[in-house]
Amino acid sequence: MPKKIRELKNILRKAGFTETSGKGSHTKWSHPLLSGKIILSGKDGSDAKPYQEKDVEKALKRLREIN
């Protein structure tokens, strides 16, 4: 069962990411310790795409490696 976009956003917020609005339903997420951004698109109630879940997992893994 895929996660919802709102779940991914909550995970990123708890990990210390900050949100910047983008065009339409897109949001850009950045973290002070990581280079690059994560782009999430879709409404909060929509199912997340597999690549979106993988992007979030990779970012969290990099954060764990840094800490």
**pLDDT tens, position by position, for the chain (67 residues)?**
899 999 999 999 999 999 999 999 999 999 999 999 999 999 999 999 999 999 999 999 999 999 8
Residue 42 backbone zone (phi > 0: left; psi -120 to 50: alpha; other: beta): left
In angstroms, the CA 24 to CA 42 distance is 9
Q: Would 6 be classed as within a structural domain? A: yes
Going by their DSSP bridges, the two strands 18-21 and 38-40 should be labelled as unpaired
Handedness of CA 52, 33, 15, 64 (dihedral sign): positive
**For the chain, how many structural domains are there in total?**
1
Domain that includes residue 50, residue range: 1-15+26-60
Q: Say if CB 44 and CB 9 are below 8 A apart.
A: yes
Q: Which pLDDT does position 6 carry in this prediction?
A: 97
Predicted model pTM: 0.93
